[in-house]
A and B are shown apart, each in its own frame.
Chain A
Amino acid sequence: MIANEAELRALMTAGLNGDAAAHRALLDRLSRHLRAYYKNKLARIGRSADEAEDLVQDALMAIHTRRHTYNPGELFTPWVHAITRYKLIDHLRHTKAAMTNVPIEDAADFEAQDDHAGAESALDINRLLARLPEKMRRAIRHVKIDGLSVAETAARCGMSESAVKVSVHRGLKAMAAAIAQGRTT
């Protein structure tokens, strides 16, 4: 993971500036690291690997919705690693695992494994969306799933562009919270 620092940081910085392709590449790469990390950690304490994909998605959602907390002047890997580890500890703590003191391991543990084909969580996106208020649901469907522009969505929903942006932002945060909650209940 350390070896990837420069590359991941460049993708992150570009993504923060609004470069969608860079953001996609970043999340794609991170998802492989996350999967390897969670499978490895869960296996080590005798937990089912099925939980890993829920955690991967929870962490990706957290990385996306909290990406403004990354300070571009600092290293990227420790930031992403702190989120990854936090989500694991939170998961173990709230699923009553015996082991809650996950060691601050070497970042070397955090290596990519290429077994992501068809990786799927138990989460249902439609059910997550259904729990959102109407405005947020429509904004997310149009902008994030159907890929309409913010302007088109605004015209279609009769909202201002900034209201659409706010709805998308809040909706994603609400979904992230629902994923974090749902994982542990």
Chain B
Amino acid sequence: MKTDDLINMLSTNVEPVDRGQLRRSLGLAVALGAGGALVTALLTLGVRPDLHEPGALAFLGLKLAFTAGIVLMASLLLTRLARPGGERRTRPILALLPFAAIVLLAGLSLANAPSTHWEAMIVGDMWLECLVSIPTIAIVPFAVIVWAVRRFAAPTDLARTGAFAGLAAGGVSAMGYALHCMDDSLPFIALWYGGTIVLCTVAGALLGPRLLRW
């Protein structure tokens, strides 16, 4: 094929381009992923039975704030990385803010508790369930976000883009899991929520170069 023929073809009947498409479709993908995670968590695990208690409600709010903060940062960075050269304009350090906040709170709560309580606060009752559930629930949101990136975006740093897709997926998954989880301690949230979300991020970074090629 002659390059001039290709140019001819591409510049015949050019349609105006919808500039909001990228942002909109990525936002929609994260929202759909969140919906998927919510439905999965509700159908397979169910809502915690003690929600009428103020303490339980407060911890649910805290878990949702932490995970929503992650989802927000991840979506913001993902939208930038979705454009060619976007990796030169992003500060991935922003994504650490919610993690830094929860680790700080966890440290304070440990410092204020007798050391005999530490093990119970850190390990909780359902750490294994948390460790398994969050990455598992994240699979569907991750697939939706990756699909949207492949289809609408043009990332030029695939590992980093994959990492933030994984972070967003881990974040929405943890939001869904939070509705079920009855382990109410800050160190538990920092370690098991934070840790599994980091796991999702690492998985995304490893899968990115394979899945996001264009």
Q: Which residues does A use to contact B, with CB under 8 Å?
A: 15-21, 23-24, 27-28, 31, 35, 53, 56-57, 60-62, 64, 66-72, 78-83, 85-86, 90, 116, 118-121, 123-125, 128, 140, 143-145, 147, 149-150, 165, 168-169, 172, 176-177, 180
Given contacts A31-B3, A67-B17, 13 further A-B contacts (CB under 8 A): A15-B14, A60-B7, A62-B214, A66-B84, A78-B88, A80-B84, A81-B85, A83-B156, A118-B2, A125-B6, A147-B13, A150-B13, A180-B213
Q: In the complex the two chains form, is B10's CB within 8 Å of A69's CB?
A: no
Interchain CA distance A143-B85 in the complex, whole Å: 32
Interchain CA distance A24-B3 in the complex, whole Å: 12
Interchain CA distance A145-B11 in the complex, whole Å: 10
Interchain nearest-CB distance for B3 vs A (Å): 5
Instruction: State whether the Cβ of B1 lies closer than 8 Å to any Cβ in chain A.
Output: yes
Q: In the complex the two chains form, is A17's CB within 8 Å of B16's CB?
A: yes
Instruction: State whether the Cβ of B18 lies closer than 8 Å to any Cβ in chain A.
Output: yes
Q: In the complex the two chains form, is B22's CB within 8 Å of A18's CB?
A: no
Q: Which 4 A-B pairs have the closest CB atoms?
A: A82-B85, A24-B11, A82-B84, A18-B16
Q: Which residues does B use to contact A, with CB under 8 Å?
A: 1-19, 21-22, 82-86, 88, 152-154, 156, 213-214
Interchain CA distance A119-B4 in the complex, whole Å: 8
Q: Which chain B positions have C-beta within 8 A of A177?
A: 214
Known A-B contacts A79-B85, A90-B213, A145-B9; the reply to A16 vs B3 at CB < 8 A is no
Q: In the complex the two chains form, is B12's CB within 8 Å of A147's CB?
A: yes
Q: Which chain B positions have C-beta within 8 A of A128?
A: 1
Interchain nearest-CB distance for A177 vs B (Å): 7
Q: List 21 A-B contacts (CB under 8 A).
A: A15-B14, A16-B19, A17-B17, A20-B13, A23-B10, A27-B7, A27-B10, A60-B6, A64-B10, A68-B21, A68-B152, A82-B84, A90-B213, A120-B1, A120-B2, A123-B1, A144-B13, A147-B12, A147-B13, A149-B13, A177-B214
